[in-house]
């Protein structure tokens, strides 16, 4: 049995640094992506990563910088598709990179003028500016089943000027797991309550998250606490529609519902108070 906590959903970052002209220094980072894939699932697998472009300038430099960010097709590309392969080097699955949905040719993330991410950083009066955005990796449903295991690829990201001049390159990893496993494919957000002392009705808040597990693999989910006190107010948490499930290879959506019961006084001694606590969601399979 394996445990995964919400806070474990970390991904590696690979960065490149360069001179963007004059004294402006920029870097680009792209997350490495891990994918749980079930070739028997009838649903295509979509996993989201992110990129960040950051620049630092002197006061004497221009206050804008335009950039392009592209990627190649990885180390084992074939027929225009990226491919991950296992350690034996003979079994593979295909995938592709996309700037946005719908997943049509115009939205592919590649390394041509029409398929790169583009943007302009505006410093204003600041010496630092950055921008981030998501990208998707899509694996088609129903690919021929290969031996269970770990499949990997390495993709090269190229950072360019607005005119397409190559500045530098970096790599990020794509890992596909086809063993019995689970992942928090969409992590939960925050629950934000607004409460007035002795209010006559309960205050509620909720956040959703997604779990993706291998087909037919049972799993359970649990919070480290389902009741706690914050600012003297007792709140409760519950997972809906159920705290357990069976994987189908696609993302399954759940909700964490929170409630602060009515008629509580609390310990706030001023007109407005705020506080926060961190709860941990554990996925077990």
Domain ranges of the chain: 8-179, 183-284
Q: What is the pLDDT of residue 43?
A: 92
Q: Is residue 12 pLDDT above 80, yes or no?
A: no
C-beta of residue 262 within 8 angstroms of C-beta of residue 201? yes
- Is-same-fold flag (8-179; 183-284)? yes
Cα 81 to Cα 44: distance, rounded to the nearest angstrom? 15
Task: Determine what percent of the chain is predicted with pLDDT higher than 70.
Answer: 92
Give residue 8's pLDDT band: very low, low, confident or very high (50, 70, 90).
Answer: very low
Q: What CATH number is given for 8-179 in this structure?
A: 2.60.40
At which residue do the structure tokens 């964490």 appear? 256
Residue from 190, 85, 176 nearest 137 by CA: 176
Q: What does the pLDDT look like over 214-258, one tens digit per residue?
A: 888 999 999 999 999 999 999 999 999 999 999 988 899 999 999
Give residue 26's pLDDT band: very low, low, confident or very high (50, 70, 90).
Answer: confident
Average pLDDT over residues 2-18: 38
Q: What does the pLDDT look like over 171-208, one tens digit per residue?
A: 999 999 998 999 999 999 999 999 999 999 999 999 99
Q: What is the pLDDT of residue 260?
A: 98
Query: What are 125's two structure tokens?
Result: 């009066």
Task: Determine what percent of the chain is predicted with pLDDT higher than 90.
Answer: 81
Range 183-284: architecture per CATH: Sandwich (2.60)
This prediction's pTM: 0.72
SS3 148: coil
């Amino acid at each position: 049995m394996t445990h995964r906590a919400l806070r474990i959903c970390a991904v590696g970052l690979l960065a490149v640094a360069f001179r963007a002209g004059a004294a402006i220094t920029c870097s680009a980072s792209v997350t490495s992506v891990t994918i749980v894939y079930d070739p028997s699932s009838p649903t295509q697998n979509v996993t989201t990563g992110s990129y960040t472009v950051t620049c630092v300038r002197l006061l004497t430099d221009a206050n804008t910088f335009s950039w392009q960010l592209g990627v190649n097709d990885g180390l084992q590309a074939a027929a225009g598709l990226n491919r991950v392969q296992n350690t034996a080097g003979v079994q593979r699955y295909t995938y592709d990179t996309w700037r946005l949905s719908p997943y049509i040719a115009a939205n592919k993330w590649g390394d041509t003028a029409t398929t790169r991410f583009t943007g302009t950083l505006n410093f204003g009066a600041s010496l630092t500016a950055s921008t981030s955005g998501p990208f998707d990796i899509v694996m088609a449903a129903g690919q021929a089943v290969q031996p269970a295991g770990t499949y990997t690829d390495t993709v090269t990201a190229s950072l360019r000027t607005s005119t397409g001049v190559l500045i530098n390159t970096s790599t990020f990893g794509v890992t596909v797991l086809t063993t019995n496993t689970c992942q928090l494919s969409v992590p939960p957000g925050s629950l934000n309550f607004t409460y007035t002392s002795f209010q006559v009705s309960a205050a509620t808040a909720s956040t959703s998250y997604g779990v993706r597990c291998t087909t037919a693999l049972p799993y359970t989910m649990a919070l480290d606490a389902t009741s706690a006190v914050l600012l003297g107010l007792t709140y409760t948490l519950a997972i809906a529609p159920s705290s357990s499930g069976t994987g189908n290879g696609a993302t399954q959506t759940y909700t964490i519902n929170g409630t602060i019961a009515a008629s509580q006084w609390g310990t706030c001694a001023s007109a407005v108070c705020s506080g926060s606590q961190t709860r941990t969601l554990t996925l077990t399979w």
